[in-house]
C-alpha cells in the first residue's frame, strides 16, 4: 500500500514537472498551423487537377457514345425496313436472308465502339496519384515531428524554434520538388491521353464508316435482288432491259430467221423475260 502511494507521488511529481517545462517554451502553433493549412491547400490543388483531368478525358470520349447511339438508330431503321420486306413472300425473304447477314448486330457494334472509347483516365492518373500519396504521407508525419521538437528541446526556445523552422523549411523544399514531379507526370499523362483520344476517334470513325458502307451495300443488294424478281415474272412490272417480246404472227412463223430475242448488250441484266405475243 505504501509502495503504491509513493509510486503515485512520483508520477504526480513527474507530470507537474513536465507541465512546468512545457510552459517554459512558447509553442509555434500558429506558425505550424498556417503552414499546414497551405499544405492542405496544395493537396486539394492536386486533387482538383486530377479530377479535372478525368472529367476532361471523359468529355472528349463522350461523342463516341453519341455515335454509337446514332449507329444503333441506323441499324434499327434498316431492320424496320427489312422486316416487312421479308414478310412479302419466300423470294423476298430469301433476298433479305442472302444479303442482310453482313449487317452487324447492335450489341457487337456497341461493344466495339466502347472498346474504342475505353476510359483510361484512372490508369493515366496512377503516377500523379502516387506522387500525391507520397506528399500526403510526408505531411501526415509533420505534427508528430513538431511534437518531437517540443519534447527534445523543451528547455531551449531557440533550439525548439530552430527545430520547428527546419521541419517547415524541409517540408517547403519537399513540396516544391514534389510539385515538379507531379507537374511532369501530369504533362506526360496529358500527352498520352491526347494521343489516345486521337486513336479512339480513328477507331470509332473506322467502325462508323465501315458500318455505313456495309449497310448501304446490303440494302442495295437486297433491293437489286428484289427488283430482279419484279422485272422477271410479272407482266405489269416487266420493263427494259429485262424484257423482250417475240411476236408469233404469220410473218414471223414463216420466217426461218428472226431477230435473236435474247440479244441484250447490257451485262448487268441478271434475268430475261420473253413475252410471246400474237
Ligand atoms: C441466295 O443465295 C443462294 C446461295 O448463294 C442462291 O443459290 C440463291 O439464288 C440466292 N437467292 C436469291 C433470291 O438471291
Ligand atoms: C541548443 O543547441 C546547441 C547546438 O546544437 C547546443 O550546443 C545546446 O546545448 C543546446 N541548448 C540546450 C539548452 O539544449
Ligand atoms: C425475216 O426476218 C428478218 C429479221 O427480222 C427480216 O429482216 C426479214 O425481212 C424477214 N423475212 C421475211 C421474208 O419476212
Ligand atoms: C443496264 O441495266 C441497268 C438496270 O438493270 C440500267 O440501269 C442501265 O442503264 C442499263 N445500261 C444500258 C447501257 O442500257
Q: What distance in Å separates the CA atoms of residue 73 and residue 12, rounded to the nearest whole number? A: 82
Distance 218 CA to ligand 4 centre (A): 20
As a whole number of angstroms, the distance between CA 177 and CA 165 comes to 18
Chain center to CA of 204: 11
The x, y and z cell numbers of residue 91, run together, are 423470294
Report whether 168 contacts 139 (CB < 8 A). Answer: no
Task: Tell me which of 133-137, 170-174, 187-191, 267-271 is least confident.
Answer: 267-271
Mean pLDDT, the chain, whole residue set: 87
- What pLDDT digit, counting tens, does each position of 30-41 carry? 999 999 999 999
Determine if the pTM surpasses 0.75: no
Query: Could you tell me the three cell numbers for 5?
Result: 502511494
Q: Which residues pair with 187 in a beta bridge?
A: none
Average pLDDT over residues 236-253: 78
Read off φ and ψ for residue 98, nearest 5 degrees.
-65, -35
- Other C-beta atoms closer than 10 Å to the C-beta of 261 total 13
Residue 25 vs residues 41, 64, 82, 119: alpha-carbon distances, Å: 29, 64, 89, 55
Residue nearest to atom 10 of ligand 2 (CA): 159
| Number of the ligand 4 atom closest to the C-alpha atom of 241 | 2
Ligand 4 centroid distance, CA of 241 (Å)? 7
With 0-12 / 13-18 / 19 or more C-beta atoms within 10 angstroms meaning exposed / middle / buried, residue 67 is: buried
Helix (H) / strand (E) element for 274: namely strand 273-277
SS (H, E, C) 149-217: HHHHCCCCHHHHHHHHHHHHHHHHHHHHHHHHHHHHHHHHHHHHHHHHHHHHHHHHHHHHHHHHHHHHH
Q: Which of 245, 246, 255 to mutate to test the pocket of ligand 3 (most atoms within 8 A of CB)?
A: 255
Q: Atom 13, ligand 1: which residue's CA is nearest? A: 95
Q: What's the sign of the alpha-carbon dihedral 37, 138, 53, 58? A: negative
pLDDT in tens, 163-185: 999 999 999 999 999 999 999 99
Residue closest by Cα to atom 2 of ligand 2: 159
Is any ligand 2 atom within 6 A of the Cβ of residue 159?
yes
Q: Is 155 in the pocket of ligand 2 (CB under 6 A)?
A: yes
- Evaluate: CB of 157 within 6 angstroms of ligand 2: no
Amino acid at each position: 500500500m505504501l509502495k503504491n502511494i509513493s509510486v503515485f507521488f512520483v508520477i504526480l511529481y513527474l507530470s507537474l514537472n513536465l507541465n512546468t517545462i512545457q510552459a517554459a517554451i512558447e509553442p509555434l502553433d500558429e506558425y505550424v498551423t498556417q503552414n499546414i493549412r497551405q499544405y492542405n491547400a496544395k493537396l486539394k490543388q492536386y486533387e482538383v487537377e486530377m479530377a479535372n483531368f478525368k472529367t476532361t478525358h471523359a468529355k472528349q470520349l463522350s461523342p463516341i457514345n453519341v455515335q454509337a447511339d446514332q449507329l444503333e438508330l441506323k441499324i434499327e431503321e434498316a431492320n424496320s425496313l427489312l422486316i416487312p420486306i421479308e414478310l412479302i413472300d419466300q423470294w423476298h425473304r430469301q433476298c433479305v436472308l442472302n444479303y442482310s447477314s453482313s449487317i452487324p448486330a447492335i450489341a457487337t457494334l456497341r461493344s466495339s465502339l466502347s472498346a474504342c472509347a475505353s476510359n483510361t483516365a484512372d490508369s493515366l492518373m496512377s503516377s500523379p496519384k502516387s506522387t500525391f500519396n507520397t506528399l500526403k504521407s510526408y505531411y501526415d508525419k509533420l505534427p508528430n515531428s513538431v511534437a518531437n521538437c517540443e519534447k527534445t528541446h523543451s528547455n531551449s526556445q531557440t533550439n525548439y524554434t530552430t527545430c520547428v523552422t527546419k521541419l517547415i523549411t524541409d517540408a517547403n523544399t519537399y513540396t516544391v520538388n514534389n510539385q515538379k514531379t507531379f507537374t511532369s507526370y501530369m504533362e506526360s499523362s496529358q500527352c498520352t491521353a491526347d494521343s489516345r483520344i486521337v486513336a479512339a476517334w480513328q477507331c470509332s470513325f473506322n467502325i462508323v464508316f465501315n458500318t455505313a458502307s456495309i449497310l448501304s451495300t446490303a440494302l442495295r443488294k437486297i433491293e437489286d435482288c428484289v427488283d430482279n424478281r419484279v422485272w422477271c415474272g410479272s407482266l405489269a412490272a416487266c420493263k427494259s432491259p429485262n424484257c423482250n417480246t417475240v411476236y408469233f404472227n404469220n410473218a414471223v412463223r414463216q420466217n426461218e430467221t428472226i431477230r435473236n430475242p435474247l440479244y441484250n448488250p447490257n451485262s448487268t441484266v441478271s434475268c430475261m423475260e420473253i413475252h410471246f405475243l400474237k
